[in-house]
Amino acid sequence: MKQTVIAVAVTLVCVLLVCGMGGYAQVYANTREVPIYCVDRQDKFVSISFDAAWGADKTRSIMDVCDNYGVKATFFLVGFWIDKYPDMVEEIASRGFEIGTHSATHPQMSKLTESQCREELLTSSRKIFEITGKAVELFRPPFGDYNNRLLTVAKGLGLYTIQWSVDSLDWKGLSAREIAERVQKADSGDIILCHNNSDHIVEALPAIFESFKLKGLTAVPIGQLIYRDGYHIDGSGKQISDKSTSTVV
């Protein structure tokens, strides 16, 4: 009898643990928010972006190559970079490139309080607006690090939080060929991550843009790639339109 009671008790504990953990995992999965990693579209539009936190030597050359190929990229700028290179910020905007915030001080923002997150975003966005006269709509978290608190704060400030689906790994010192080979995998709806001062990014761009031509891809700013309303984001970070058609706005 005693053994039977023990066996039943053990069984009940196991069931509770499994169901409890499963229930917790399900609730967590249902409540975890995700930013936009890519966009579900079949119209051959992609976006290439450049994070700027340290150095600016290659920024003008990046824009020159983009202009030669008719590409308008998105630059995510950190506040202290803006302070150091205000003329470059102005040139990025005046040449028709899109600017988003990459925070004010490039911290690991999941470790910040709500008020600290808000200050990072407000401060950096204000600096961009004061130079360009354009309101900021896009935000990329430093290190790609985020949590629900950060995403909620960003959304409350009218910002779309943007990650990436194709990583060039240009910051690792890869050769131009290696960078291009990684980015050439991009397809419709992908968002490509590059950096404005990596070693071989300028040399890699022509091969990247030539590959776009061969695949029939057109590079547009992220602000034109994403949907502004009538969408949802699935668990993988893909932004999906709730409408039947997908067209660039």
Question: How far is Cα 20 from Cα 171, in angstroms, rounded to an integer?
Answer: 43
Confirm if 183 and 204 have CB atoms less than 8 A apart: yes
| Nearest Cα residue to 85 out of 225, 172, 196 | 196
User: Which residues, other chains included, contact 111 with Cβ-Cβ below 8 Å and sequence gap of 6+?
Assistant: none
Question: How far is Cα 222 from Cα 71, in angstroms, rounded to an integer?
Answer: 12
- Per CATH, the number for 38-241 is 3.20.20.370
Domain ranges of the chain: 1-31, 38-241
User: Which residues, other chains included, contact 173 with Cβ-Cβ below 8 Å and sequence gap of 6+?
Assistant: 198, 199, 200
pLDDT tens digit at each of 249 positions of the chain: 444 433 434 343 333 333 343 333 333 445 889 999 999 999 999 999 999 999 999 999 999 999 999 999 999 999 999 999 999 999 999 999 999 999 999 999 999 999 999 999 999 999 999 999 999 999 999 999 999 999 999 999 999 999 999 999 999 999 999 999 999 999 999 999 999 999 999 999 999 999 999 999 999 999 999 999 999 999 999 999 998 554 455
Partners of 74 in the β-ladder:
49, 98
Confirm if 239 and 233 have CB atoms less than 8 A apart: yes
Strands 218-219, 98-101: pairing kind: unpaired
Q: What are the backbone angles phi and psi of residue 135, rounded to the nearest 5°?
A: -70, 140
